[in-house]
Structure 1
Amino acid sequence: MAFLVAGTLQAAAQVADARDSLGRKGKYSVQGLRVALTLSSPGVPAATVAALEAVFQALGFESWERRDALVQDFLRELALFRKQLDALQSPVGCALVALVAPRGQLRQPRQLVQELSCCEALQGCPKVVLLLSSGAGAALEPGAFLAGLRELCGRRPHWSLLQLLTELFCRVAEESAGDIRCPVFQSSLRGALCLTSEEPWRPEAFWEELAQFQEQLDTYRGPVSCALVALMAHGGPQGQLLGADGQEVQPEALVQELSRCGALRGCPKVFLLQACRGGNRDAGKGPKALPWYRRWLWVPQPALPSHADVLQVHADAQGSSCSGPAPGSSGQADVLTVYAAAEGCVAYRDEMGSDFIQTLVDVLRVDPGRDLLELLTEVNRRVCELDVLGPDCDEPRKACLEIRSSLRRRLRLRV
């Protein structure tokens, strides 16, 4: 017995000015009632239904309902379910519908999804649709898939649903024998969908993820040549990373923790930090004034960040303000840390993302075999020439990277 995930996520796509469904920008608020429904055709094993109910429970759904019907009656059952939700007096935070039928019988899933999207009670709310195939000829076994999803929900309660599904798809593809069988999801979600009560990106999550990453490296059978970690979060006035629960963690402490990894001893460790390191907003410094008779020959130069064009060399590392490994320790060597802002300054990003990360990607694509420090210097040059506008000011501001390196060899990411 097996199943096929034909498309797992489909949110309302044509809802204009939906009611305030995002508790904060970029994340859905699912504080209302969570409802789940299983529509199964005759002959679906009870074990599959039980596995679905276990997934509902792991995702935090308070109530779920099962209805047996022929596949041709699924649309009618969904219409009844929609009317049932519209008649509720309490707000709905999220809906999950699982459709289980023999392989090849769910030929028009779009009509079923559209019926759910027409529900007024779910306008602006995330709607999750699982399309499962069972019976002879199906590609994948449903019990293992659902058990894997439930296990990931328990191990990664702070992950979004898209992150959970991506990790699960990776496992399914690796475990498939012969031809690779990989599920697919379609998404029009407008924000992160975290169905568990734990906040994502809390400091404990940083430590947990780093510990899991270090454990994977230490148990990896093959040699490890390099590690790269990107940390993106809100930053505090002293450069600390702020979690969603208000707790703090110093990024240097995370760097020190990974430096203890036995598999990375003597290997380069690269950290990219997109976070504010204070509240200063650098207006930059313009070019020095020139006599009138030379101005018309001078090409206008952009303002530069106040922190640009400086190289500090700490021979014993005691002059550095970072709270990393002790001077002379083995964990101090072979570390490259790149901050998106100078110490004490704001790190800027907009709806298109981080200027630092986007510029880094552009530079790496042009010449990935070049020395990484040279590439990062070019990234900093481009970032310094940008004029950025913060969310709380109308005047142009400047940004400048800070690159800290204890690399003992040149590092090329591609030979």
Structure 2
Amino acid sequence: MDDRILKIATRAKLTLEALSEKITNSQIEFNAERYEPTYSKSAVASLPELAKAKVDKAVAEMEQEGYQFQKKQAGLNNVYSMGHKDITAIYEHRGVPKYRDKFKEAHTIFLTNLKGGVAKTVSSVTLAHGLRCTPALLHHDLRILVLDLDPQASATMFMKHDLSIGVVDETVAQAMLQNVSREELLEEFVKPTNVSGVDIIPASIEDAFIASQFEKLANEHLPGQNIYDVLQENIIDKLEHDYDFIFIDSGPHLDAFLLNSFVAADTFLIPVPPAQVDFHSTLKFMQRLPELFDMTETAGSEIKLSSIFGYMAKIARKSDHADAQSLLREVCGADMLDTSLPLSTAFERCGESFGTVFSTNPKFYPGDRDALKKARLKAEEFTRSVFDTITFNRKNKG
């Protein structure tokens, strides 16, 4: 092999490690490895299913029973500074039902598009964090799992960036082929992320080889199993009672990973950017969906899809963007989300430090904090739209 290629590869590896180490050290220095918003006692009282009298009563009873709430120093006094754990405990104390009490199995969401660069991964990680962190959804105490099936490992980079460098053996692709037990999945493959309650099974660049040779490898290691049912049967079926929502993030490639994701998904979300090339490419992908479904069903797999929604991504207040949104509404009809994921520098700036608008601490955000706040509010609106739409469909289906 040409020495120049080896030198470039080595330098790329060293640079990647240095960049990651720099970000990690900065997070450790400022105690920003994890960020979770905290709420005053009065702010908790404004959350769904609660009120001042209810919170006062619950807090008093819980403290009498020995529960210790998180507090912070404010002047000479200690005041309540409640995180997700405290708020969840209050809801549990009051007997408020959770999402899992109504829906026993996880709902699998696949964000898909064969056009690259359309915000699939940003949407996936934003929704994964949003379902956990959006104030209006805190009472559900949602448990989230992200399955990264893209060998580029972008979702892994956002959620567990120390695993996105070098070789990772415990990936989704490896778990599919090894067909390990539920206990092994939870102990060895599932990794916690920078937001508590949100986990990931990562990806690695080596997964690209598995994708290119999947049929051969599956026939060798999983004899008798349909090659497009592997993700569903070997991972999702085993973890469906451990999570409320499972997200799949795959690459923009027509391969076995994509078709496994088709079979495993309960809901498709299709991000549609307004840029003309992206918009046209997305419409071509949507036009081919029946063909892709036929491909998997002809192979003996069953598509169990219950809903499919398009939504505008990377959208701004421009006339051509409004035109694209109008055209998409004609294509999708009622199957279009009523909110969009906007084009905002805050999403990009958060991504520079491997975070989302939910996991980035405003104190250490390098840009305008008001812009970050607006981006988070928009992401909460988008998350609520996805959650409400899916939940409405599940109730009606049930």
TM category, shorter: under 0.3
More helix by share: 2
Structure with greater Cα Rg: 1
Bigger RCO of structures 1 and 2 (CA < 8 A, at least 6 apart): 2
TM-score by length of 2: 0.26
What is the TM-score when the length of structure 1 is the normalising length? 0.25
